[in-house]
Amino acid sequence: MRPKLLIEGLATFFLCLACALVQGPLAPFIIGALLLALIYMGGPVSQAHYNPAVTLAFCVRRRQAWSAGAAYVGVQLLAALAAAVIAGLFHGHTEENSQHILDALKEPVLDGWLAGSAAEFIGTFLLAFVILMVATSRRTVGNSYYGLAIAATVAGLMGLFGAFYPDFNPAVSFSKGIEGCFSVLNAEGDAGLAFRQEFSFLAHSTPRLFLGVVAQFLGGALAAWTFLGIFPEER
C-alpha cells in the first residue's frame, strides 16, 4: 500500500501545482501533457487516480476497497495542500491581488453557481466514466492507450467548459481555493494585512467552492453507477 500512496501523493502534487500555475489558452494542452506522463508513470502502481472523485468512482465500481479509497483521498488532499503552499509562494501577494480581492468581496459569490456546478458535474462524470472504461473494463483490458484517452478527455473538457474555470477534481479545487492564504509567504508590504485579505476572500468563496466539489463527487459517483448499469456483468 505504501508505494501506491506515495505515487498518488507525488502525482497529485504536481497535477495540482500545474493547475495552479499554468494559465492561458495553452493550459489545457500543457496540463493534459503532464497528466499523460503522470498516468503512465503511476498507472501500473496505483491505477493513477490523482482525484478524489475518481477514487470514489473506483470504490462505487467495486474496484477498490473503501478503506483504501479513504487513504487515497487523504493522501491526495495532503498533496493538494503542499501544492497550495508552493503555488502561493510562487505567485506571492501584490497590490494587484489586494485590489482583486476587494473587488471580488463586493460581488455575490453565488452568481452563476448553477452553470459552474453543472460544468463540474458533467465534466467529472465524463472523466470518471472514461477512466472506468479504459482502466477497469474487461473490454479494454491490457490496452496501451488508457493514458492518452484520459489526458485527451481532460484537455477537451477544459477547452469545452473553459469559460467556467472548472477543475473536475476536488483536490485541485481545494488546492486552488486555499493557495492565496500561502501567498503571504511572499507578500509585498504588510504580510498580516495580506493574510487577512486572502482569508476573507477564502471565506467569501467557500460556498461556491463547496458546491463545485459536491458536483464533482456526484459526477464521479454517477459515472460508476452508469458504468454498472450499462455493464452489470462487470460487478
- DSSP code of residue 65: -
Work out the number of other CB atoms within 10 angstroms of the CB of residue 211.
17
Distances 70 to 24, 51, 86, 103, 222 between C-alpha atoms, Å: 34, 12, 25, 38, 19
Can you tell me which residue has the cell 456483468? 233
Which pLDDT score is estimated for 102?
66
Which residues on neighbouring strands pair with residue 187, listed in sequence order?
Answer: 93
User: Phi and psi at residue 187, in whole multiples of 5°?
Assistant: -95, 145
Residue 210 amino acid letter: F
pLDDT tens digit at each of 235 positions of the chain: 889 999 999 999 999 999 999 988 899 999 999 999 999 999 899 999 999 999 999 999 999 999 999 999 999 999 999 999 999 888 877 767 667 776 766 777 778 789 999 999 999 999 999 999 999 988 888 899 999 999 999 999 999 998 899 999 999 999 999 988 888 777 777 777 777 877 887 888 889 899 999 999 999 999 999 999 999 887 7
3-state secondary structure of 187: strand
pTM to 2 decimals?
Answer: 0.92
Q: Please report, for the domain that includes residue 163, its CATH number.
A: 1.20.1080.10
Taking the alpha carbons of 209, 160, 158, 180 in that order, is the dihedral positive or negative? negative
Cα–Cα distance, 218 to 120 (Å, whole number): 9
Name the domain count of the chain. 1
Alpha helices in the chain (DSSP H): 2-21, 27-46, 52-60, 66-91, 95-105, 113-136, 146-160, 170-182, 191-230
Determine the structural domain holding residue 66 and report its residue range: 2-234
